[in-house]
Amino acid sequence: MDAFTTHTGVGVPLRRSNVDTDQIIPAVYLKRVTRTGFEDGLFAAWRNDPDFVLNDPTYATGSVLVAGPDFGTGSSREHAVWALQNHGFRVVISSRFADIFRGNSGKAGLLAAQVDEKVVQRLWDWLDDNPGGEITVDLESRTVRAGYGEDAVEDSFDIDDYTRWRLLQGLDDIGITLGHDDAITDFEATRPSWKPVTL
């Protein structure tokens, strides 16, 4: 996984709450056996609407999605994270993320930045005034910033310390755990004999 320190990119306002993972990528697009190519399914149903934000050329290079609360609810499909990344998104900003989506983002290297609901509203308003404007997300200082001077929006975001550390270092989770191989082996020796096995 590539390290993530700071990112500046075009902000995309997605003015919806409860964006479930079936909306991010419908099940019919989940049949690939690779981690790439899922951008074709990203928000597939909504993209039929000519007014949908991603159909606006202003946001064609968007990489910071700003969404309403309860983003990523529903299915555990990590394909939702891959579809966002395959399209070019590096960051999703929301006031509340579903647990599994947040976990998947951390593992795959997409930054899920949780901010106060008022900050989402201010970023939406700022993007209305500055379509195609860029948002900077700094993981080191845990801040989001859009614009300069009086109209600037600047605030902190929440992310748990461990995920932040892993993203900053670009570390492979499995490699870290395999460093504790002895502890796993010791634990296995203590498991009761009546626990079920499949083979």
Partner 1 sequence: MGKTLSEKVWDEHVVRSAAGEPDLLFIDLHLIHEVTSPQAFDGLRLANRTVRRPDLTLATEDHNVPTVDWDKPIADPVSRTQVETLRKNAADFGVRLHPLGDVEQGIVHVVGPQLGLTQPGMTIVCGDSHTSTHGAFGAIAFGIGTSEVEHVLATQTLTQARPKTMAVTVNGSLPEGVTAKDLVLTLITHTGTGGGQGYIVEYRGQAIEELSMEGRMTVCNMSIEWGAKAGLIAPDQTTFDYIEGKPEAPKGADWDAAVAHWKTLRTDDDAVFDREIELDASTMSPFVTWGTNPGQGAPLGASVPSPDDFDEPNDKVATEKALQYMGLEAGTPLREVKVDTVFVGSCTNGRIEDLRLAASILEGRRVAADTRLLVVPGSVRVRLQAEAEGLDQVFLAAGAEWRGAGCSMCLGMNPDQLAPGERSASTSNRNFEGRQGKGGRTHLVSVPVAAATAVRGTLSSPADLQEV
Binding site for partner 1 (CB under 8 A): 16-18, 20, 22-23, 26-28, 30-35, 45, 68-70, 73-79, 81, 96, 98-100, 103-104, 107-108, 160-162, 173-174, 176-178, 180, 183-184, 187-188, 191-199
Closest CB to partner 1 among residues 55, 121: 121
Q: How many helices (H) and strands (E) does the chain have?
A: 7, 7
Nearer to partner 1, 150 or 199 (CB): 199
Q: With the C-alpha atoms ordered 132, 21, 84, 39, is the resulting torsion angle positive or negative?
A: negative
| Smallest distance from partner 1 to CB 82, Å | 8
Minimum distance, C-beta of residue 170 to partner 1, in the bound complex (Å):
14
Q: Residue 11 CB, nearest distance to partner 1 (Å)? A: 20
Task: Report the residue number, 70 or 146, with the smaller CB distance to partner 1.
Answer: 70
Q: How far is the CB of 121 from partner 1 (least distance, A)?
A: 10
**CA gap 180, 160 in Å, rounded:** 22
What's the Cα-to-Cα distance from 147 to each of 81, 120, 137, 176, rounded to whole Å?
27, 15, 12, 38
Toward partner 1, which CB reaches closer, 10 or 127?
127
Contacts of 47 (CB under 8 A, 6+ apart): 54, 55
Least distance in angstroms from the C-beta of 149 to partner 1: 29
CA dihedral 14, 18, 20, 24 (to 10 degrees): 0
Residue (8 or 76) nearer to partner 1, CB: 76
- Max distance between CA atoms of the chain, in angstroms, equals 67
